[in-house]
C-alpha cells in the first residue's frame, strides 16, 4: 500500500494526536473567525467587500477542513485521492486570502492584474496537483511561495489604501508560513507534520487579523 501510494513515512499515534489537536484548534478558529468576519463585513462593508470576505472565509474553512480530513486518514486509496484536494486547497487559501486585501484597490490596474494572476496560478496549481498526483511537489512549494510573496510587486499601491497595521501583519504572516515550510520538508523529524501545521494555523491567524484590521480601520 505504501509503495503504491507514496505518502512518506507513517506517523505514530502521538504524532497523529498532536496533529489532530492542532487541526482542531485551527478549525475552531476558522469557523468562529469566519462567522465573525462575515457578520462585521455585513455591517461595515459594501457588496464587493462582502463577496470578498465570503470568498476568504470559505477558502479558510475549506483549506483547514480538508487538511484535517486528509491528515487524520490512514494510508489508503481514499487518502491518496484526498491528498490532491489537500494540496489544491492550499492554492485556494492563498488566493482567497489575497482577495479581500486587494478587492478595495481594484480600481488600480496593477492590483487588478495581481489578483487575476494569483487566481490564475492557483487554478494552474490545482490542475498540476490533480492531474499529476505525487509529482511536482517541490514545484508546488515554489508556486505557493511565489503566490504568497507576489504582493511585493504591488506593495506601493497596496500600501496606499490598506492600514499600516494590516501591511505589517501580512508580512509577519508570510514570514511565519515561509519559516514553516522548512519543517514541512523535513519528513524524518518526529512531530514534523504537527509542527508544520502549527505554523500554518499561526500564519492564518495573523493574516485573519490583517483582514479584520483592514475591514475595521480601512473602511472596506
Quickly list DSSP for 97-143.
Answer: HHHHHHHTTTTSHHHHHHHHHHHHHHHHHHHHHHHSTTS-HHHHHHH
Contact 210, 170 (CB under 8 A): yes
Query: For residue 47, what are the contacts with CB-CB under 8 A and spacing of at least 6?
Result: none
Q: What is the DSSP letter of 152?
A: G
CB atoms within 10 A of CB 29: 16
Closest listed residue to residue 154, CA positions, set 94, 87, 90, 106: 106
207 annotated to bind ligand: no
Binding-site positions for Zn(2+) read: 197
Binding-site positions read: 197
Amino acid at each position: 500500500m505504501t509503495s503504491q501510494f507514496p505518502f512518506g513515512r507513517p506517523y505514530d499515534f502521538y504524532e497523529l494526536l498532536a496533529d489532530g489537536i492542532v487541526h482542531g484548534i485551527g478549525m475552531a478558529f476558522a469557523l468562529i473567525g469566519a462567522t465573525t468576519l462575515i457578520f462585521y463585513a455585513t455591517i461595515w462593508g459594501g457588496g464587493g467587500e462582502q463577496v470578498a470576505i465570503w470568498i476568504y472565509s470559505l477558502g479558510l474553512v475549506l483549506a483547514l477542513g480538508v487538511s484535517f480530513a486528509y491528515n487524520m486518514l490512514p494510508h489508503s486509496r481514499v487518502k491518496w485521492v484526498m491528498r490532491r484536494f489537500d494540496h489544491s486547497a492550499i492554492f485556494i487559501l492563498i488566493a482567497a486570502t489575497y482577495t479581500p486585501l486587494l478587492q478595495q484597490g481594484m480600481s488600480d490596474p496593477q492590483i487588478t492584474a495581481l489578483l487575476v494572476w494569483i487566481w490564475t496560478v492557483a487554478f494552474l496549481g490545482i490542475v498540476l496537483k490533480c492531474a499529476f498526483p505525487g509529482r511536482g511537489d517541490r514545484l508546488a512549494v515554489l508556486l505557493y511561495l511565489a503566490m504568497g510573496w507576489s504582493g511585493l510587486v504591488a506593495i506601493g499601491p497596496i500600501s496606499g489604501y490598506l492600514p499600516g497595521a494590516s501591511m505589517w501583519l501580512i508580512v509577519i504572516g508570510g514570514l511565519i508560513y515561509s519559516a514553516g515550510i522548512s519543517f514541512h520538508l523535513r519528513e524524518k523529524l518526529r512531530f514534523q507534520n504537527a509542527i508544520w501545521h502549527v505554523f500554518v494555523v499561526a500564519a492564518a491567524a495573523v493574516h485573519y487579523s490583517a483582514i479584520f484590521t483592514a475591514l475595521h480601520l480601512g473602511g472596506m
